[in-house]
Structure 1
Amino acid sequence: MDAITHFWQQHQQRLATLTAMLLVILMMMAIVDTTVFVLDNLDPMHAPEQTEVQKPAVRSSPRVNISELNLFGRAGSVAAPKTVDAPKTKLSLELLGVFNSDNPDDSAAVVSQKNKEGELYHIGDRLPGNATLDSVHDDHILIKRGSRLEKLVFSEEVFSAAATRTNTTRNVPPRASRSSGSSSHLGQIRSRITEREGMSSSPRPTNSAGNTLRQYVETHRDAITADPAGTLANLGVSPIESGSSKGYKLDASNDVLTKAGLKQGDVILSVNGKAVGDAAKDSALVEQALAQKRVRVEVRRDTRRFFLTVPIP
């Protein structure tokens, strides 16, 4: 103990200085550790705030492709008709005519109860038998009874006698009050269409259009095969070509064609979906139409285009 006291007294000044230096070093290390700890814990808190504040400043405005905005609507998009496998309806209804539009919601059909006059129905209208018209197709319509879809097709009698006219531009008749007192309600509908389009002077398809076409073909079958161009000339029809468009122009009125709904000046562009204009090749379409028992003709009248569909018995 005395030795320690003696050592302390001898080196007191040096020990005090050394102790002070150690304390200073420890204090500096503590300060540095504390500073590093604080900085490490403060940076994560401030970083998100800086990011959030800076995001609006650095975020670039989205680029808009004007061509993709379809400012004037979408052109040329025509939905493909969906095929529905529905059972035939058991309601006592008869399909007399269909009016197909490029807009399915604007299509309509003429339907009658057995032994009664036909009435015009648009999509969504209620039919006899507590059914509604769901959709219109070339050779049938779909009706809805509750949640069940049923099909109503042309009867054999109507299919072999009635000429159904389809206009894909705008000859679907507007909603109008239903009238009676005429022997043919379907004729009234067609007459109303003609008046709406300013075509009251143009002939309308008659019930014998299909029969007339078949009789003419059977009578002139050999001439159609041997001299198709001459046969067309006898009908008052001549081939025309305008640019890339071909067809046949009706130069003079003809009973066979006017009964089908054509008029002088009309241009036939296609038959049953096939472009026409070459008499030698187009003669084969006659036999195809007879086999299909229906001819669908694309017609250009002035600036309008429409389709005529004529069943052939």
Structure 2
Amino acid sequence: MVLALKQIQIDRLARIVRWLLAVVLVIWLARVLADSVLLWMAGPQQTPTVDPSMLRLTAINNEQGGALSPAEIERWKLFGIPPEQAPEQRAVDAPETRLRLELLGLFQNSTAEMARAIIAEQGKDAELFRPGDKVPGNAELVEVLGDRVILRRQGQLETLRLKEPELSGTVSASAPPPRRRSQPVVQESQPEPAQLLPDGDPAQQRAMIIQQLALEPVTEGAAEGYRITAGAPAAMLSSVGLRPGDQILSVNGHPLGEEQGDISALQEAMASGSASIEVQRGSRRFTVNYPP
């Protein structure tokens, strides 16, 4: 009997607990529902901030039904902003230098650092210079142009123009002509710029190089190369490892000895800034690369 009474009390207590739990759950759900309704009715409490660096697109309302014009699309910079190109720097026109120098040859290149100039102090051997090198007379080579070079001396820019060739056509080094003084350049006598080739007249440059390097053809009128004679500048020969008596057979695969092959080799070497020189010394053949 006692056990029956205890079981009845336990069942009654369990029903009370379940009822309390149900009431609490209903109250919690009602609270959540009320908060959701209030939040939906009130809306956000603050306007979200927009990072000004972020790209924003504005709606376009026009008569074409919202079509985008090319100008609008271009203003979006979808592919970024291209870097600004630095303006091309060219040396300003400078007065003629008073240094006792002669410009004997030029090797232009699209890369300014690869350009070269053959400069000689009057009465001395010629040497090869690049932009930034010191030249005789306490001057610095600044830039190599098509028909002249720009020097800097005591902070001032000066012009050294290409020495006019003394011979034209085929040049023989058997009897080199005497050195003559450079004539002053008269501005009125110069041809119009449209009549000048970008890198100078190749035929004149060929004749000048043959003369100044004291080259003589191995066989006159044949593409058998040139022989270096004793009158060649020693400094230039030592820079590429050559010596008098060597025969220069080809440059960059172009046989030397005829005008057309010589000009092709000269133009390719000036465009690339480098040369592969095939040389014969006695019975031995080898290749010299310039720059080394």
Answer whether TM exceeds 0.5 for this pair.
Answer: no
* TM-score, length-scaled by structure 1: 0.35
* TM-score, length-scaled by structure 2: 0.38
More helix by share: 1
Higher RCO, Cα 8 Å, sep 6+: 1
